[in-house]
Structure 1
Amino acid sequence: MTDPLDLVYPFTGRWLAQNSPANRVPSHGTHLFASTYAIDFVPVADNGRTARFALRSLLGTEPPERFPGFGRNIHAPVDGVVIAALQCEPDHPAYRGLRSLGYAATQSRRASAGWPALAGNHVLIETRGIVVALCHLQDSSVQVRAGQPVRAGDLIARCGNSGNSTEPHVHVQAVDSADFGRARGVPITFGGSLPVNGQLINA
């Protein structure tokens, strides 16, 4: 197994770690597109909760603006060079109730379209031969371009709900190649420790 890549948290404030390698490997239930060690970070309010679940949440969709972390700043988690940046995908409504079942049923169609269809707006940063991906970014929020060097902590985009996402969050993964069809996942740590699934993180 490749040695873990240590990162800094790409955000500030209060976030919830989900689909974490501390909970299971592969983290998203599949090795497809090198998501073995990927982590979803969901932004929450000061009370540790995301948007209040209401009747509308159960029966319909919700605008992404309703969620506390939509539009929060996302920063580079590592020193490196941007090798790809996409920001033309729209932020779609959030699905948390019954509509989420129908949305889940269309996931295979998105997967068949390739990794970019799942990632939505994203930034790829290469560091020491490893590629770090930050996905589901807000439409038109990406602040960097391919070929640009970045330092850990630099502002790169904002949290969105693009790509394969049921509510605003940021998906972080590291891979050993920018060819996601053939790449293998690389373990990631944050300050030397993996976040535990469900743990609230103050960064």
Structure 2
Amino acid sequence: MNPVVLDLPFRGRWRAEMSPARRVPSHGTEAYGSSHAIDFVAVDERGRSAPSSWRSVLATEPPEGFLGFGAEVLAPVAGTVVATHDGEPDHEGRRSPFALVPYALTQASRARSGHHALAGNHVVIEITGGRVVLLAHLRCGSLRVEPGRQVATGDVVGECGNSGNSTEPHVHLQVSDRSDWDRAKGVPLAFRLADGVRVPREREVVRGD
């Protein structure tokens, strides 16, 4: 299957995480059409998503302290917004292993709660062939679009947040064959990068214009 080619959904420096260039399914599951999903974390020139502190070693961190929190998220392709969800709270960031362990223990309960509990605040854009692009973990109250809205590539759809199943502010992006998440299958994707059309490698830093 040919990949759906997208623009990067942000400006500035972001690091690819959970990339399908490393493995498929990229997030360890094919559930909810996520087999080829990719995550992007905003980073500074030293590759940090937030300054280091005692909290980053021992505790949780306010999401506002992360570089990506509140950054504009852009439509990576033209299409029609077919679904949105807002109102999920933004969690504390969890870089510390002491904070990650109790969070991991609640992973199964979030999965049982369904797609909204995992994706958090999100926007779904339908493109050609009935396929859909999901942009997830957006900041509570930041959505700029509603169902039925036509968007062009580069339009602002919301802001990066830490809602849903997220340990630090980031953008989760996936292409699926439908928005019926219980039956959705993942679709391969690729991005227009400075050196060509491809999938960013795991932990590769890419720059959006």
Q: Which moved more, 1:145-154 or 1:93-102?
A: 93-102
- Between the aligned residues of both structures, percent identity stands at 50
SS of structure 1 residue aligned to 2:51: coil
1:33 Cα deviation from its structure 2 partner: 1.4
State the alpha-carbon separation in 1 of the partners of residues 139 and 155 from structure 2.
Answer: 17
In the TM superposition, 1:1-203 aligns within 5 A as: 2-97=1-96, 98-128=98-128, 129-191=130-192, 192-203=197-208
State the alpha-carbon separation in 2 of the partners of residues 114 and 164 from structure 1.
Answer: 11
State the alpha-carbon separation in 2 of the partners of residues 124 and 29 from structure 1.
Answer: 22
**Structure 2, unpaired ranges of 5+:** none
State the alpha-carbon separation in 2 of the partners of residues 189 and 85 from structure 1.
Answer: 23
**Structure 1, unpaired ranges of 5+:** none
State the alpha-carbon separation in 1 of the partners of residues 45 and 64 from structure 2.
Answer: 17
1:52 Cα deviation from its structure 2 partner: 2.6
SS of structure 2 residue aligned to 1:85: strand
Superposition TM-score, scaled by structure 2 size: 0.94
1:48 Cα deviation from its structure 2 partner: 2.3
The amino acid across from 1:14 in the alignment is R
The amino acid across from 1:5 in the alignment is V
The amino acid across from 1:21 in the alignment is P
CA contact (8 A) 1:45 1:69 kept: no
SS of structure 2 residue aligned to 1:136: strand
Q: Which moved more, 1:93-102 or 1:129-138?
A: 93-102
State the alpha-carbon separation in 1 of the partners of residues 154 and 49 from structure 2.
Answer: 24
Q: Which moved more, 1:126-135 or 1:84-93?
A: 84-93
1:154 Cα deviation from its structure 2 partner: 0.4
1:99 Cα deviation from its structure 2 partner: 1.2
1:58 Cα deviation from its structure 2 partner: 2.5
State the alpha-carbon separation in 2 of the partners of residues 17 and 64 from structure 1.
Answer: 19
Across the aligned residues of Structure 1 and Structure 2, the Cα RMSD in angstroms comes to 0.9
SS of structure 1 residue aligned to 2:41: strand
Q: How many residues align?
A: 202
